[in-house]
Amino acid sequence: MIDFKQVGCKICLLRKEHNLSQEDLASKMYVSRQGLSKWENGTAVPSVDSILELSQFFGISIEELLCLDSKTVVDPTDIFKGQERLYIVNKLIRNELDVNLVEIFNQLLPSERLMVLKAIKDGRLYCPIEKIRPKLTNDEDYYLRRSKL
């Protein structure tokens, strides 16, 4: 199943990697800036022709553009943008997100942080403790020390 919010994030990331504004890419795709914005936030779906043009323009396969061959793509500055929080946290715990856990850890709510720390403790998620420790609260640090990691 195609997740068009994920596809929108992919289009946005590719646009930014190519140093294009929404206006620039929209004109190259012969759509309005508002239409492109709707693609990027997942509220509208590009036509098949637009998907073909985007894949050719960015030099990637249609499968890659539609995120059919990769992990969930998120914006590292806001991993929850356009997504349900629990969906993202579960993807994170299952190691299905292409993010640096240490860098995004502070975006998590306290309950989400505990879910992630439990996954680390249980060995379901790998993160070097020495790298994440500076971001932990005293209670979180105590939880990890008590678990003998």
Give the CATH number, domain containing residue 58: 1.10.260.40
The rounded distance, in Å, linking the Cα atoms of 137 and 149 is: 16
- Secondary structure string (H, E, C) spanning 70-85: CCECCECCECCCCCCH
Whether 8 and 47 map to the same domain: the answer is: yes
Whether 59 and 112 map to the same domain: the answer is: no
Global pTM value: 0.55
Q: Given pLDDT bands bounded at 50, 70 and 90, which one contains residue 108?
A: very high
Rounded to an integer, the average pLDDT of 55-67 is 90
- Is 39 part of a structural domain of the chain? yes
Identify any residues that bridge with 72 across adjacent strands, giving them in sequence order.
97
Whether 60 and 95 map to the same domain: the answer is: no
Rounded to an integer, the average pLDDT of 29-56 is 93
21: domain range?
4-65
- Is 132 part of a structural domain of the chain? yes
- Is 71 part of a structural domain of the chain? no
Give pLDDT, residue 71.
61
Count of structural domains within the chain: 2
Whether 48 and 15 map to the same domain: the answer is: yes
Tokens 């979180």 map to which residue?
A: 140
Helix (H, G, I), strand (E, B) or coil at 36: helix
Whether 11 and 58 map to the same domain: the answer is: yes
Rounded to an integer, the average pLDDT of 120-143 is 91
The rounded distance, in Å, linking the Cα atoms of 54 and 28 is: 9
Q: Given pLDDT bands bounded at 50, 70 and 90, which one contains residue 17?
A: very high
The rounded distance, in Å, linking the Cα atoms of 122 and 131 is: 18
- Is 108 part of a structural domain of the chain? yes
Domain boundary among 16, 35, 65: 65
